[in-house]
Amino acid sequence: MTLGCGCVGQAVLSRGAHGGPMTISVGFAMAVTTAVYVSGGVSGGHINPAVSLAMCVAGRLKWTKLPIYILAQFLGAFVGAAAVFGIYHDAFMEYSNGTLEVTGPYATAHIFATYPAPYLSLINGFADQVMSTAVLLLVIFAIFDTRNNRVPKGLEPVVVGLLIIVLTCSLGMNSGCAMNPARDLGPRLFTAIAGWGMEVFTAGNNWWWVPIVAPMLGGVLGALTYIIFIEVHHSDNQQGEENDVYDKYELTNM
């Protein structure tokens, strides 16, 4: 979150001089890649409640671990947002003359959390988040499925990053392509506390709940779609030793 929101902050606060849509898309994706590399060997590198819930529904993660995963993910997102605000504090003050605004020409709340485009309805936005997160989880399950066209071991996080780039480039216009409840609610809570106020929850026709509920639903939908239409149709004559190297990672215990 520090690296991802930092990309957005650098682009916005510099008024486009040090970044734009493409640097944000690539930067956020590479931030996810580094996070998966760092945490993958211990927790599976979910970094997303929608991923963790889908893993539980698919039987890849114990349900008793889900609250711990989600709590850690929200805490990490909150602290990451705080780090960005601290690093760019003076730039925030200069950009908006000392005020922290949610909407308007000097809005900066969208550096931390997603907000809908003016034309977007809640129904359309909900469908947007369900669809994008479903694609995210469907492809993640494919990437880590050792019986499919496997990604070379150790390069899975890079492919996840490439997946996020194509998702943000294709499905990011409506509302920023959150696809992660922790990525959205954690920083939103921080902005509410740090000076932007409760408007962060009322802006966009009370948009705040959509990036929380819709990704959770979409993640489960994408995971089940992959299992039902792809995974269960694999042949069983795969060499078991090819799969043994992945057993230590919960995310890859397919």
pLDDT in tens, 93-102: 999 999 999 9
For residue range 101-146, what is the model confidence (pLDDT) as tens digits?
999 999 999 999 999 999 999 999 999 999 999 999 999 999 999 8
- What number does CATH give the domain 1-252? 1.20.1080.10
The pTM is what?
A: 0.91
CA distance 111 to 4: 9
Q: What is the pLDDT of residue 249?
A: 46
Domain boundaries in the chain? Answer: 1-252
The phi and psi torsions of 107 (rounded to 5 degrees) equal -65, 140
Q: What is the pLDDT of residue 150?
A: 82
Roughly how many angstroms between the first and final C-alpha of the chain, as a whole number? 27
For residue range 32-77, what is the model confidence (pLDDT) as tens digits?
999 999 999 999 999 999 999 999 999 999 999 999 999 999 999 9
Q: What is the pLDDT of residue 248?
A: 44
Which amino acid would we find at residue 31?
A
Q: What is the pLDDT of residue 241?
A: 45
Report the 10 Å Cβ neighbour count for 96. 16
The answer to whether the CB of 200 falls within 8 A of the CB of 164 is no
Under 8 Å CB-to-CB from 70, ≥6 apart: which residues? 49, 52, 182
**Which residue in 111, 108, 88, 83 sits closest to 96, CA to CA?**
108
Q: Is the sign of the CA dihedral 57, 59, 65, 71 positive or negative?
A: negative
In the predicted structure, residue 254 carries a pLDDT above the cut 50: no
